[in-house]
Structure 1
Amino acid sequence: MAPARPARGRPHPAAPAAAAAAALAGCAALAAADPETPGGPVPACPTRALLGVDCPVCGTARMLQALTRADLPAALGYNALGVVAVALAGWAWLAWAARALGRPAAGPARIPGLGRIAVAALIAWTVLRLIPHPALDVLRP
C-alpha cells in the first residue's frame, strides 16, 4: 500500500524535518570547525582574498558559529544583516512546518514588498561596508 499523500498544495511533513536535519548538521559541523583558523576547514572569503574588499556575506561563517554558541553580540558583530536573514529563515521554516502539519501559518513571504526590501538592504549593506570611514568600521567583520 502506498503511503498517504499530503493534501494538494500542502508540503509533505517530512520535507521541513529533512531541511531542519540538514541545517542542524551544517551548524554542528560549523560549530566544530573554527572559521578564524587560517587554512582551516572553513575556506576564506574569495572576494576578500582576491579583491581585498568585504562582500555582503563576509563574516557569515563566523556569524553562524557565534549563533551556535548563542553569542548574539558576536554574531551581530560579524554580520548583522546575516543575523536578520537567519531570523527570517527560521520564521519561514516554522511557517513551512506548520503548513506541512495542516495548520495555517503566515511566513515572511506574506509580507508585501519583502523581496524589494531585502534587495535594497543587501545593496545598502554592501555599499556601506565598502565606504572607508571610521564610523562605518562597525559594519565590517
Structure 2
Amino acid sequence: MSVAVGTADRVLGTVQTVSRHRVAGPASVFVGVAVAGTLVWFADPTTPGGIIPPCPTNALLHINCPGCGASRAVYCLLHGDLGGALHYNAVGVVALAFLAVAFVTYTVGLWRGRRVRGWQQWRYTPVTVLVVTLVWFLIRNIPISPFDSLKV
C-alpha cells in the first residue's frame, strides 16, 4: 500500500512541475520581450546619440548588415508606425511576425500537451531563412537606385 502512495506522490509532483513549466516558460519569454520593448520605447533609437549603440558592422565597415535598423523598426512598431518600421528593416518586421506566430504555436502546443506544427518544422525553413537573410544583406548594400533607398 505504501508503494502505491509513494508512486502517486511522485506522479502528482510531476504533474505540478509540468503545470508550472507550461506557465513559467511562456511567461518568462513574455516578460523578457516586455522588458526589451520597454527599453526600446524609452531609449528612442531613432534619435542619434541615444542609449542604444549603433550597429557595429555599420560603424566599422560602413555597410548595412541584415539586422541594421531593427531597433528603430521595433520602436516604430511600438508607436504604431508600420510604414516607418518597414523602411528601417522590412525583413526584420516580417521575421518578428514569424517569431510571434512561432511563440503562439509553441505555447498552444505546450498547454495542449502535444506539439502543434508551425512554420519552423517545415523541411526547407532553415535554407529559406538563410537565403532570405543573404539576399537582404546583398540588396541593402547595392549602391544603385532603387536599392540605395534601403540603406538606413
Q: Same fold (TM over 0.5)?
A: yes
1:1-141 aligned at under 5 Å gives the runs 2=13, 4-6=16-18, 12-102=22-112, 105-141=116-152
Q: Looking at CA atoms only, which structure, 1 or 2, has the larger radius of gyration?
A: 2
CA RMSD of aligned residues (A): 1.9
Report % sequence identity.
Answer: 31
Consecutive unaligned residues of structure 2, counting only runs of 5 or more, are: 1-8
User: Residue type matched to 1:106 in 2?
Assistant: R
CA offset at residue 39 of structure 1? 2.4
Structure 1 residues not aligned, in runs of 5+: none
Cα distance in 1 between the residues matched to 2:136 and 2:118: 24
Flag the structure with more relative contact order, 1 or 2, with Cα contacts below 8 A and sequence separation at least 6.
1
Letter in 1 for 2:107: A
The residue aligned with 2:5 is none
Contact residue 141 and residue 148 of structure 2 kept, 8 A: no
Counting matched residue pairs gives 138
Partner-residue secondary structure (3-state), 1:96 = helix
The normalised TM-score by structure 1 is 0.89
Decide which structure has greater helix share: 2
Alignment TM-score, normalising by the size of structure 2: 0.83
